[in-house]
A and B are shown apart, each in its own frame.
Chain A
Amino acid sequence: MEKSTVSLRGRNVLGLEDFSPEEIHLVLETAKEMKNIIHRDIKKVPTLRGKSIVTLFYEPSTRTRTSFELAGKYLGADVVNITSGTSSIVKGESLRDTLYTVEAMGVDAIVMRHKAEGAAEYASRIVSPVILNAGDGAHAHPSQGLLNLFTIQEHKGKLAGLKVAILGDVLHSRVARSDIYGMRKMGMEVHIAGPKTLLPRYLYEESGIFVHERIEDAIKDADVIEVLRIQLERMKGGLFPTTREYARIFGLNEARLALAKDDVLILHPGPMNKGWEISPFVAYGKNSAIQEEVQNGVAIRMALFTLVLTGGKQE
């Protein structure tokens, strides 16, 4: 790893708006080393031996929770999962009291997912363990934003100057917000596109973000395209007419892909609705890094744990 004066030790990971470009760089560099560990036959290092991590998930999740859990375990930490269906949360315990309970058991880090924007930051002001935000409403999903950057850098060898198109439901997407903050900090050009009902009305004010209502305009000459997940309840809420029409007008298919650069990289935070926002051809095609993102997610989370719990040093 490069010599760095930047340290993330003890830092809460709440959103990429709090990260400097140097800090993002440090996470990405650390994740490179971590990815090597995942490729080992024996995936266990003692970096976090004696550390305990709780994942506290108030919303369903497969990949993110498992990814954090495995990341902690590969590093030798003890990891316990709490989900809303199987805990005192169903008895109506407040978030504050649940956090106090977890803190009292002596954990070092809490990985939290919650439907309310700001829940992770609220938690960070109540209890002392490091808080890692695994998604808070439509606000932020910083580890996803970081793993997207990591994946892009692996493929492109750089970040600055690349043109990224983010397609779909930006309004409700915490991933999109973490992307926008992270990508802008790393000098990328961010274009968002989708039906106007799924785009925040005032996002254009942020410098360096280009907003399009026709996805073709965003895709043109893009180096990277990230397709966001469409949620069926948005259709029921009247934000677009049908998934059929969405696929025809706003879905990423082979024809539209041709507008981008030949070596365009395709990302999707998952889970995908194939045939709606992305065609199977694109999802599994030669440009897709969607499966690779999952592995990179583990590496990024290992990097985050290492940096916030040890400062990157073996103890």
Chain B
Amino acid sequence: MKVLLKGGRVMNPAVDFDETADVLIENGKVAKIAKDIPTDDADVYDVTGKLVTPGLIDLHVHFREPGQEAKEDFESGSKAAVAGGFTTVATMPNTNPVVDSAALVRSLKKRAEDVARCHVEIIGAVTKGQQGKELAELGDMVQAGAVAFSDDGHFDPTAKVLLNAYDYLHAFDKVIINHEEETSLVEEGVMNEGHRSAMLGMKGRPTVAEDIAVARDVLLAEYAGARVHVAHMSSARAVDIVRQAKKRGVRVTAEVTPQHLTMTDDCVNLYDSSTKINPPLRTQADCDALLAGLKDGTIDAIVTDHSPHAQEEKDREYMFAPSGFPGLETSLGVMLTDLYHAGKLDLKTLISKMTWEPAKVFKLDAGTLNVGSAADITVIDLDNEWVVDAKNFYTKGSHSPFIGRKFKGKAVMTFVDGKMMMRDGKVE
């Protein structure tokens, strides 16, 4: 079984390769990258003028299994992933029940094998029930295949618990991903604290809640010699804290979402909860600092924080709607339109932050087009113009602040282990 992608612009950030070439896929692996590979018995796809990249990787998705399948499941979520050009995603454990045991990790890996259209990595909870009190069976989950750990959705309330987790996990060499918002400062908040929240009368979530959380968790990691990954950064000051820590050699990595890079709290209105996310949309100064952090290496990965909710949960009073929206099918469009085509971010950095660099954060064997690696490949049409319409979503979530946006740039083919899982927006 051979597939030949002919004539595309092949970009492999891991080895700084960016040339027009053919890519030969054989037995699910990248077999050869060269000019004018003979077609002989391969299925040939002409991708002239298209960008051929490693399959996109998303370190931060919520597929809602087990327990919240009305919002999303492994099948719908992974279809959304390949539709958006992603070949590997990592699912967060804030489910019902929380993924805090080896048995649950194993059952989800089995579910992924059975129904998922892409690779699904499982993130386990740091503490039992994500309660922030007692450590979950971290070692057991590592042995069951958990790729990382997080109490995402919650800030671990005590430094001691997090320090214990850092120390205990040290021997297993797995990273902890922290949701950084000091709880007491954000309890009632629904949007960024600023002039906009003051005039709308909505309760605010101040930036300083994130800043002090990042500072604490990074300092603790430095103290423990542990690896920490800062989830969905939204604050300029937090970027600076991570930048300084990296300079000191602290083992810290960080991620950012397309929405935090491109949207501000000016987008928040009184009636549409699709802009309600945690941490919230901030200010233009924060967007600018996040982009600077992405460019100078402070921020390692672009993630979606894909957080679908059922229609009836999200379509209600802003205050009562749950936070988050699905991002897998819009992420690349936002990044290409608002950052690459807008002249704010070069293509190589953009692709690297969605492939090779996130793979390094979790030490995944993915994110490259190196010969012999799994043929997880995304073909991108940089000039494809399209309008975001929830009717075309594969995710069960239908709320997004990007609905109605016109984007330029789209994944047009997604190969997982050499098998074509998506073509022109249609998932196999």
Q: A residues engaging B (CB < 8 A)?
A: 14, 17, 94-96, 114-119, 121-122, 124-125, 136-140, 174, 177, 200-203, 205-206
Contacts and interface: CB of A to CB of B under 8 A. Distances in A.
Interface in B211-247: none
B201 A95 contact: no
Contacts of A96: 315-316
Contacts of B194: 202
A72 to B, nearest CB: 25
A121 B270 contact: yes
B317 to A, nearest CB: 4
A203 B270 contact: no
Given A94-B312, A95-B317, A96-B316, A118 B198 contact: no
A118 B318 contact: yes
Contacts of A121: 269-271
B201 A174 contact: yes
A115 B319 contact: yes
Interface in B292-342: 312, 315-320
A182 to B, nearest CB: 13
A17 B198 CA distance: 13
Interface of B: 193-195, 197-204, 206, 269-271, 312, 315-320
B316 A202 contact: no
A118 B195 contact: no
Nearest to A203: B198
Given A116-B319, A118-B200, A137-B202, 10 more contacts: A94-B316, A96-B315, A96-B316, A114-B317, A116-B318, A116-B320, A136-B270, A138-B201, A139-B200, A201-B198
A234 to B, nearest CB: 12
A124 B318 CA distance: 14
Contacts of A136: 201, 270
5 contacts: A14-B270, A117-B200, A117-B270, A118-B270, A138-B202
Nearest to A180: B199
Nearest to B312: A94
Contacts of A125: 271
B160 to A, nearest CB: 24
A18 to B, nearest CB: 11
A124 B270 CA distance: 11
B207 to A, nearest CB: 11
B271 A118 contact: yes
Contacts of B270: 14, 117-118, 121-122, 136, 139
Contacts of B197: 200, 202
Contacts of A201: 193, 198, 204, 206
Given A137-B202, A139-B201, A177-B199, A118 B317 contact: yes
B318 A117 contact: yes
B199 A95 contact: no
Nearest to A139: B201
Contacts of B198: 200-203, 205-206
A202 B317 contact: no
B193 A117 contact: no
Contact of B201 (A114, A137, A206): A137
Nearest to B320: A116
A122 B193 contact: no
Contacts of B201: 117, 136-140, 174, 177
Closest 6 CB pairs of A and B: A118-B270, A138-B201, A200-B198, A116-B317, A139-B201, A116-B319
Contacts of B318: 116-118, 122
A95 B195 contact: no
Among B193, B195, B198, B318, max chain A CB count under 10 A is at B198
Given A122-B270, A139-B201, A117 B319 contact: yes
A171 to B, nearest CB: 8
Nearest to B318: A118
Given A137-B201, A139-B270, A174-B201, A206 B316 contact: no
Contacts of B316: 94-96, 122
B315 A118 contact: no
Contacts of B199: 17, 177, 203, 206
Nearest to B188: A237
A14 B202 CA distance: 15
Contacts of B202: 117-118, 137-139
Given A117-B200, A139-B201, A122 B317 contact: yes
Contacts of B312: 94
B16 to A, nearest CB: 45
A122 B270 CA distance: 7
A201 B189 CA distance: 14
Contact of A203 (B195, B203, B271, B320): B195
Contacts of A200: 197-198
A206 B320 contact: no
Nearest to B319: A116
Contacts of B204: 201
Contacts of A118: 200, 202, 269-271, 317-319
A114 B320 CA distance: 12
Contacts of B193: 201-202
A248 B271 CA distance: 40
A121 B193 CA distance: 21
B203 to A, nearest CB: 8
By CB atoms of chain B within 10 A, which of A14, A137, A138 has the most?
A137
Most chain B beta-carbon neighbours within 10 Å: one of A14, A116, A206: A116
Contacts of A140: 201
A202 B195 CA distance: 5
B128 to A, nearest CB: 30
A97 B187 CA distance: 28
B343 to A, nearest CB: 30
B317 A205 contact: no
A275 to B, nearest CB: 27
A216 B414 CA distance: 67
A134 B200 CA distance: 16
A114 B201 CA distance: 13
A19 B291 CA distance: 38
